[in-house]
């Protein structure tokens, strides 16, 4: 049985761009199965007293985030044509991704969503952008939008949010391997090493 | 002329442990000159509305920080025998380090300060711990304590704090290379690549 990594994400996150683009290839090379678990980070932030998002109280950190993200994207050879308008609508992208995870098209859908924003400057999560991403993943938008409006996807969304709360997640992207939490795109490699037990006993 | 990296730090910081232990060797290998610039991060945090420190509003993040720090220390082969009591007194260590930077013993002093805490569980910044660190760097504690009580060191402390403010630093460890800011021990390698211009034009 392949080792498993739970990928907790929100399509409202900037740094999640890097993880969405990098994790699938790195996980495949490591032989680790990734379960994408979109959830409501906004709910957890609101519970922590940060209803306006993680950067609102820190203007210097916000400015740094954009610069750091741009440097990192270039380092990894990822498109960074412009800074998309932020914040953007994102809950619907998460609901679609829950369905896509079940049906096996979450990677092309998610990469398309982020590429549209960072490569072409589209509003991430805008209806026409999501529709194009659904189509690029080989799916029919009308069917998808119908399914995600139902109770099953809403239940999965709530369950993922509760799981994130139990894992004490405070930001995204986050990765959980056998109960161990890793936060940030720059911890992907560590999380995969943990999953494949390259991390020695002492490191645990 | 060697490339220069300004290392902005506070001895009140946990993650700065990793940078204090790793940066000297990595910078030497890269041929980059490091200028250690201890400053009052507390002043900048207070100005940003976080007088109780960066983790006070985020209990989950605080818990994660300790676990992440422990994993990282082990990954790098650094001692992590126990979590020192936190927060700890630290301003005096910064003042001593300003003198040590001028006189050329800032690396052994600083590494000893952090080792005492993370390897042996001493209170970081406690008078007897600082005295032992001064002696281990080949200096006479009475002379050092006399000099750091003077106006020159106080002026340098204020100047470093003002420089950190101008660079829009919001946390430590931070590294500034030719005006470019890098935050976090996990960005040391990127900062050194920037200093040695390994980062290509496009990356800038």
Tell me which residues of chain A, numbers 12 to 71, contact chain B at a CB-CB cutoff of 8 Å.
48-50, 57-58, 60-61, 63-64, 67-68, 71
Task: Name the nearest CA neighbour of B41 among B163, B171, B138, B148.
Answer: B171
Compute the C-alpha angle A148/A154/A155, nearest 5°: 135
Q: What is the pTM of this model?
A: 0.94
3-state secondary structure at position B11 = coil
- Gap between the Cα atoms of A187 and B184, Å rounded: 13
Count CB neighbours of B128 within 10 A. Answer: 11
Check residue B1 and give its pLDDT. 60
* Half-sphere exposure of residue A74: CA atoms within 13 angstroms, side-chain side: 14
pLDDT of A203 strictly over 50: no
| For B58, nearest residue in chain A (alpha carbons) | A48
The alpha-helical segments, DSSP class H, found in chain B are 16-30, 41-47, 59-75, 91-103, 106-118, 127-136, 141-148, 151-166, 188-195
In the sheet where B174-177 sits, what is the strand order? B32-38, B3-9, B174-177, B180-183
Task: Name the nearest CA neighbour of A11 among A105, A87, A91.
Answer: A91
Work out the mean pLDDT of chain A and round it to a whole number.
94
Check residue B197 and give its pLDDT. 85
Q: How far, in Å, are A52, B7, B11, B114, B160 from residue B15 at the CA level?
A: 27, 13, 10, 10, 20
pLDDT in tens, A9-20: 999 999 999 999
Task: Name the nearest CA neighbour of A26 among A190, A141, A139.
Answer: A190
Check residue B198 and give its pLDDT. 66
CA distance A43 to chain B (A): 15
pLDDT of A204 strictly over 60: no
Domain ranges of chain A: 3-203
Check residue B203 and give its pLDDT. 46
Q: Are A76 and A18 in contact (CB under 8 A)?
A: yes
pLDDT of A196 strictly over 90: yes
pLDDT of A55 strictly over 50: yes
Q: Are A172 and A41 in contact (CB under 8 A)?
A: yes
Contact status of B76 with chain A (Cβ, < 8 Å): no
pLDDT of A39 strictly over 80: yes
Say which of A63, A171, A187 has its CB closest to residue B168: A63
- Gap between the Cα atoms of B80 and A40, Å rounded: 35
- Using a pLDDT cut of 90, give the percent of chain B over it: 86
The reply to whether residue A168 touches residue B202, judged by beta carbons under 8 angstroms, is no
Query: Is the ipTM value over 0.85, yes or no?
Result: yes
Check residue A193 and give its pLDDT. 95
Which regions in chain B score pLDDT beneath 70?
A: 1, 198-204
CA distance B2 to chain A (A): 23
Structure tokens at B34: 């490091």
3-state secondary structure at position B175 = strand
Check residue A58 and give its pLDDT. 85
CATH architecture of structural domain A3-203: 3-Layer(aba) Sandwich (3.40)
pLDDT in tens, A132-191: 999 999 999 999 999 999 999 999 999 999 999 999 999 999 999 999 999 999 999 999
Check residue A1 and give its pLDDT. 61
Question: In chain A, what residues touch B50 (CB-CB under 8 Å)?
Answer: 57
């Amino acid at each position: 049985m392949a080792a498993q990594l739970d990928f907790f994400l929100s399509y409202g996150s900037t740094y999640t761009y890097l993880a969405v683009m990098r994790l699938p290839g790195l996980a495949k090379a490591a032989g680790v199965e990734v379960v994408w678990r979109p959830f409501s980070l906004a709910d957890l932030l609101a519970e922590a007293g940060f209803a306006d998002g993680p950067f609102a109280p820190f203007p210097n950190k916000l400015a740094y985030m954009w610069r750091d993200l741009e440097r990192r994207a270039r380092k990894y050879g990822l498109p960074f044509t412009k800074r998309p308008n932020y914040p953007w609508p994102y809950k619907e992208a998460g609901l679609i991704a829950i369905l896509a995870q079940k049906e096996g098209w979450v990677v092309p859908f998610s990469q398309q969503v982020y590429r549209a924003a960072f490569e072409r400057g589209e509003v991430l999560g805008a209806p026409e952008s999501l529709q194009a991403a659904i189509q690029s993943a080989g799916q029919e938008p009308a069917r998808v939008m119908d399914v995600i409006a139902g109770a099953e996807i809403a239940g999965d969304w709530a369950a993922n949010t509760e799981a994130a709360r139990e894992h004490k997640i405070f930001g995204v992207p986050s990765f959980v391997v056998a109960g161990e939490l890793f936060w940030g795109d720059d911890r992907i490699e560590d999380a995969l090493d943990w999953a494949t037990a390259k991390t020695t006993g002492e490191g645990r």
